[in-house]
Structure formats: structure tokens, C-alpha cells
Amino acid sequence: MKRLIPLVSLSILASALYAEELTIVADDWCPFNCAEGAIDPGFMIEIAAQSLEGAGTQVAYSNIGWDEAIEKTRGGAFSAIVGAAKGDAPDFVFPTEPQGWLKNSFYTLADSDWSYTGPESLGSIRLGVIEGYSYDAEVDKYVAANPGKLFVAKGNKALEMLIEALMNGEIDALVEGSSVFSQYFVSNGLLELMDQCREAGTAGDGEPIYVAFSPSNPKSADWAKLVSEGTARLRESGELAKILAKYYVEDWK
């Protein structure tokens, strides 16, 4: 069942424009967006909900596989995806203000001596990635050119699949957002398992991520503008810092 987040009336204009339900979908990617129905749904979901307040409007958030989320939202079945870099879905409508910042890191087992030093260092390993994810321009180029050297995880439990593959020796390394990787172990009470892994380099300097809206929905530009303005407003009021603190995340700006 979708998690419905009731929103508060702001104006008659907002009521006229945003009276229908807005649906946001993505795979479970905590702390950016967490499990459907969780008390704390993820800081990007909270930012979106507070930014899109309007009379009679509800934000519905649901977990589906990332590739499916992009394709179905592109076609108009859903209103938006969450946790998107511009490389994930360049045809979508993006806010001007990001709702998060992603820094991707590589992870191996603790006894590995491999480290990421650039795309050329990936040729000696089998890398685990998630279908449809954008990581870094150089990493994305390698992934596109070397499908036979990859372990590609799909669906809403893709990160869990990659971690299992790493532990079982099916892959040598995986790439994932550093906060997402650590949050998985904390949320599932697997800190001892986390100690069996090591960070083995980062992919670039990181990049902004967004709540990105369907290119086929005529309201997307309006929604993106509201999210941009809402993110800035939450930062100025101090509410953004409070939201982020719940997830042990620092402001990226």
C-alpha cells in the first residue's frame, strides 16, 4: 500500500493547480528515500512533501525497481521519481535546486587490496552495479562499454543482491552512494557484516540529486518550481537542518 503524506492548504491557487494526488516512486534508497510505509520515509521524501503543500493534495510514495520507476514515470503512470541525478533521466523535468547530494564509493571485502584509481582500474575486477543507475561520467562510460564484465542487480532489493554477491565472492567490488551503503547495514542490524567490507575509492566529487518529474505530465514544471522554492525555504527557516539531522546527513550547500 502506498504511504500517503497529507499536506496543508496554502492558497486557493495552489488548490486549483494541485488538487490531485502526486505519486513519487523509486527503489528503497535510504536515507534519501526509505522503505514504503516507514515512519521516517527519507529526507528527500520529507522535502518533497513539505514543498508541495496545497489544498487537498496528497503525496503518495511507493517502492518499485529503479529502471521500472523511470520508464513508468516517463510514460505518465507516476508523477515523479526521487533520488535522480540528471544522468539517470535527462528528459525529465528537474528542479533548479537539488534535494540532496550523492557521493558514490566503491566497496570490496576487507581483505581485498584493490582500489579504484580511475576507469582503467575496473578492467581487472568484476563490478556490481544496479540497473538504470547513473554513477559518474567515467564509470557510466565503462559500464556502457563493458556489459560482460558486470554483475547487474535489478529490482527493489538490488543493493541487497549486490552485497550478497560481494560476500559470496561473485563480484570483487560494488559501487553505491556512501550514505546508502552504510545505512543498509545500520537499518538491518548488520554492523558486524559491514566490518567485513572496506571503502576502496570514490567516483568523482559527487553530484546533485533531485525529485525529478515526468516529462509527459503538463504540471511537472509547476511541481518542480514548488520543490525548488520549498527546498530553499526549508533551508532558510532551519527546517531542512532538522530533517537532515534525523538521517545523520549534513546539508550539501
pLDDT for 62-96, tens place per residue? 999 999 999 999 999 999 999 999 999 999 999 99
Residue 218 within a domain? yes
Q: Are residues 179 and 222 in the same domain?
A: no
pLDDT for 189-230, tens place per residue? 998 889 999 999 999 889 999 999 999 999 999 999 999 999
54 confidence band (pLDDT: 50, 70, 90): low
The H-or-E segment that residue 6 falls in is strand 3-6
What is the CATH classification number for the domain harbouring 120?
Answer: 3.40.190.10
Q: Which of 7-16, 48-57, 87-96, 168-177 has the lowest mean pLDDT?
A: 7-16
Cα torsion angle, 195, 118, 155, 41, sign? positive
Number of structural domains the chain divides into: 2
Helix 158-167 × helix 178-187 angle, to 10°: 80
Q: Are residues 32 and 91 in the same domain?
A: yes
Q: Are residues 164 and 200 in the same domain?
A: yes
User: What is the 3-state composition of the chain as percent helix, strand, coil, each rounded to the nearest 5?
Assistant: 35, 25, 40
State CA 149 to chain mean position distance: 25
Backbone torsion region of residue 222, taken as left when φ is above 0, otherwise alpha when ψ lies between -120 and 50, otherwise beta: alpha
Look at residues 112, 113, 93, 88 and name the one whose alpha carbon lies nearest to residue 29. 88
Per the prediction, the chain carries an average pLDDT of: 90
**Maximum pairwise Cα distance, the chain:** 61
pLDDT for 164-196, tens place per residue? 999 999 999 999 999 999 999 998 899 888 999
Q: Are residues 23 and 96 in the same domain?
A: yes
Q: Which domain holds residue 143?
A: 102-206
**Order of strands, edge to edge, in the sheet holding 100-109?**
3-6, 58-63, 22-26, 80-84, 197-213, 100-109, 173-177, 127-130, 150-153
Give the angle 92-100-84 at the CA atoms, nearest 5°. 30
pTM higher than the cut 0.85: no
Residue 253 within a domain? no
Residue 147 within a domain? yes
Residue 251 within a domain? no
State CA 193 to chain mean position distance: 23
Look at residues 87, 88, 69 and name the one whose alpha carbon lies nearest to residue 79. 69
